[in-house]
């Protein structure tokens, strides 16, 4: 082994470690689904605050939650049947999934607690979810792709604004949280598609 | 160019392909045969030969199972393989004067 061979071996190890570290499929199509729904659902619900119609309001809410849950479940199941990204770093993806599951699980728990313990606290539930999604997006931004950080900050800014003006929370969160999640999901899916085509291309003996 | 025979390199890892396979597995833990093949641009036969050699050395565990009635081969790095790669990396760094 001479210096040149050692340098080449070291460069090879580093390039592979870098490639495998980047090859993460965070399955962010869930954010596309929920981002698109929130974009329409939250402003629509807010509109019915000013033009009361409980039946229409509940129909939109239940319809949005049911649509999102069904689509997320089906696409998640299809995606788990076969890895979408060959050679993906399943360990990092699982760690990221664990963190996101913690955020989403906390969101569900607090949604139940707000409903059960604070009468009249319901308007704060969308704000809670804005915060949960902002945290998820910033986490993905740190560990997956920094391109997603602005999306998370947009959702965070929307959440803060919604907290300042709770009566207009749906109108504020629809475009901020909805577009933030939608844009992040599209960016991530494009990145996964790009990584799918990438090979190290080294001629190995 | 200096020859650094005194470093006593692991013969198994003197092959670039085997070094690449272990490097790919070290961060993800386990990968499917096709994923390693596509990632490293190796041929099927070449990958099989090198993976067998790594398995014989105790650096790799090869698991074969069926998913939706299709055979699937998965590679998993062993703790021995991980240690061997780390030791190899340290020797390379030492040759090049890099401190671990």
DSSP labels for B35-91? HHHHHHT--HHHHHHHHHHHHHTTSEEEEEEEETTEEEEEEEE-HHHHHHHHHHHHH
| Model confidence at B17: pLDDT above 60 | yes
Q: What are the backbone dihedrals phi and psi of residue B85, each rounded to the nearest 5 degrees, phi first?
A: -65, -45
| Structure confidence at residue A151 (pLDDT) | 96
Q: What is the pTM (predicted TM-score) of this model?
A: 0.74
List the single residue in A with minimal CA-CA distance to B75: A87
State mean pLDDT over B27-39: 83
DSSP of A177-205 = IIHHHHHHHHHHHHHHHHHHH--------
| Structure confidence at residue B1 (pLDDT) | 46
Enumerate the residues of chain B whose CB falls inside 8 A of the CB of residue A13. Answer: 19, 23, 85, 89, 92
The three-class DSSP label of residue A132 is helix
Q: Check B4 against A203: CB less than 8 A apart.
A: no
* Residue B17 forms contact with A (CB below 8 Å): yes
The three-class DSSP label of residue B1 is coil
CB B82 within 8 A of CB B26: yes
The three-class DSSP label of residue B31 is strand
CB B61 within 8 A of CB B75: yes
Q: How many angstroms separate the CA of residue A73 from the nearest CA in chain B?
A: 20
Percent of chain B with pLDDT over 70: 91
* Residue A119 forms contact with B (CB below 8 Å): no
| Model confidence at B4: pLDDT above 60 | no
Q: How many angstroms separate the CA of residue B54 from the nearest CA in chain A?
A: 14
For residue A130, give every residue at least 6 positions away whose Cβ sits within 8 Å of its Cβ, in sequence order, or none: A155, A156, A158, A159, A162, A169, A173, A176, A177
The three-class DSSP label of residue A2 is strand
State mean pLDDT over B21-48: 87
Radius of gyration of chain B (CA): 15
Query: Cα(B71)–Cα(B67) distance, rounded to whole angstroms?
Result: 6
Size of interface A-B (CB pairs under 8 A): 111
Closest partner CB to A83 (pick from B14, B35, B98):
B35
| Structure confidence at residue B26 (pLDDT) | 87
| Structure confidence at residue A175 (pLDDT) | 96
Instruction: Report pLDDT digits (tens) over A131-151.
Output: 999 999 999 999 888 989 999
* Residue B49 forms contact with A (CB below 8 Å): no
Instruction: Report pLDDT digits (tens) over A172-195.
Output: 999 999 999 999 999 999 998 888
Q: Which of B4, B28, B69, B88 to substitute to test the interface with A, most A CBs within 10 Å?
A: B28
| Structure confidence at residue A196 (pLDDT) | 79
Q: B11-95 domain in CATH 3.40.50.920?
A: no
Q: What are the backbone dihedrals phi and psi of residue A92, each rounded to the nearest 5 degrees, phi first?
A: -65, -40
Q: Between A21 and B44, where is the model more confident?
A: B44
Side-chain half-sphere CA neighbours of B2 within 13 A? 12
ipTM of the complex, rounded to two decimals? 0.85
* Residue A78 forms contact with B (CB below 8 Å): no
Phi/psi zone of residue B39: left (φ > 0), alpha (ψ -120 to 50 degrees), beta? alpha
State mean pLDDT over B20-41: 86
Phi/psi zone of residue B70: left (φ > 0), alpha (ψ -120 to 50 degrees), beta? beta
Q: How many angstroms separate the CA of residue A1 from the nearest CA in chain B?
A: 6
Q: Check B96 against A88: CB less than 8 A apart.
A: no
Q: Check B16 against A16: CB less than 8 A apart.
A: no
Low-confidence ranges of chain A (pLDDT < 50): 203
* Residue A3 forms contact with B (CB below 8 Å): yes
State mean pLDDT over B74-98: 90
| Structure confidence at residue B100 (pLDDT) | 54
């Amino acid at each position: 082994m001479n210096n040149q061979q050692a340098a080449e071996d070291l460069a090879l190890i580093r390039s592979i470690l870098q490639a495998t570290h980047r090859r993460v499929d965070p399955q962010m199509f869930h954010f596309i689904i929920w981002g698109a729904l929130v974009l329409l659902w939250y402003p629509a619900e807010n509109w019915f605050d000013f033009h009361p119609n409980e039946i229409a309001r509940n129909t939109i809410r239940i319809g949005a939650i049911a649509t999102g849950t069904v689509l997320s479940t089906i696409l998640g199941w299809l995606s788990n049947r076969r890895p979408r990204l060959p050679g993906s770093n399943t360990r990092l993806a699982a760690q990221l999934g664990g963190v996101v599951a913690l955020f989403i699980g906390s969101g569900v728990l607090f949604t139940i607690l707000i409903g059960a313990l604070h009468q009249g606290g319901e308007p704060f539930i969308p704000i809670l979810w804005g915060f949960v999604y902002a945290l998820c997006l910033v986490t993905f931004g740190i560990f997956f792709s920094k391109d997603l950080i602005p999306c998370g900050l947009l959702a965070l800014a929307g959440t803060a604004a919604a907290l300042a003006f709770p009566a207009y929370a749906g109108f504020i969160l629809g475009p901020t949280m909805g577009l933030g999640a939608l844009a992040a999901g599209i960016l991530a899916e494009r990145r996964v598609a790009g990584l799918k085509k990438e090979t190290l291309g080294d001629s190995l003996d | 160019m200096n020859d650094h025979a005194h470093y006593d390199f692991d013969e198994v890892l003197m092959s670039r392909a085997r070094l690449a396979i272990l490097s790919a597995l070290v961060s993800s833990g386990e990968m499917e045969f096709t994923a390693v093949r596509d990632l490293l641009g190796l041929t099927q036969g070449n990958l099989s030969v090198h993976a067998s050699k790594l398995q014989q050395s105790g650096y790799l565990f090869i698991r074969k199972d069926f998913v939706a009635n299709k055979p699937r081969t998965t590679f998993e790095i062993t703790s021995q393989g991980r240690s061997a790669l780390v030791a190899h990396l340290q020797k390379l760094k030492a040759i090049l004067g890099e401190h671990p």
